[in-house]
Amino acid sequence: FGPPGAGKGTHAPRIVDKLRIPQLSTGDMLRAAVAAGTEVGKRAKAAMDSGALVTDEIVVGIIADRIKEDDCARGFILDGFPRTVEQSKMLDAELAKTGEEVSRVLELSVPDAVLTERICGRWVHKGSGRSYHVKFAPPKSLSPGETPGTENMRDDETGEALMQRSDDTEAALSSRLEAYHAQTVPVLEHYGAKKVVSVDANRAMDAIAADIDAATDF
């Protein structure tokens, strides 16, 4: 759990390895259900084909189908869901049908200003996917003190111009963070102090990993 750029994708694999349970992304599950042609997958495809949003009911249905599979017998990690209190209540109700419940909510906490620096400094080479950062991992073409731009942000191997993703700009990030604070943070209040563990993710990687390890001892 955490805002964009907090490190969810970095730290989730550690928990997967430790607990030997799968990490479930709603996006991946949605695509798999559509490809498999399941009943709920057909409903999702119909919604997407018509240009409509996939409803919370459909997403919870896809999760319900996925967690019946053998690899979820010991548990699972949800990545990117729930994002709202309403989704949380629907998830709780679905899990309750089989006597299950959310056992831990792990929040990675990072100040907005730090996230802005992390995300808005990211540039990528479109052809290879190589990633750079103006402060933490600059390309050789960027001289110290220079303002980054397409002329001086070039891939180390090909010399081709780097690009910024449209959602890595300050304006886009600002709206994403607003949505996170308004809709997603109340989910933490919904699950309460007994289930929520907040980890300061604005520290060295080893320190963050140690706290996550302690929080996932069941």
Residues with a known catalytic role: 8, 83, 122, 165, 176
Q: Which stretch of DSSP H or E encloses residue 198?
A: strand 196-200
The residues facing 105 across adjacent strands are 196
- The position carrying tokens 């057909």 is 42
Distance, CA of 19 to CA of 1 (rounded, Å): 17
- For the CA atoms of 158, 164, 165, 170, the dihedral, rounded to the nearest 10 degrees, stands at 170
Cβ(155)–Cβ(128) under 8 Å? yes
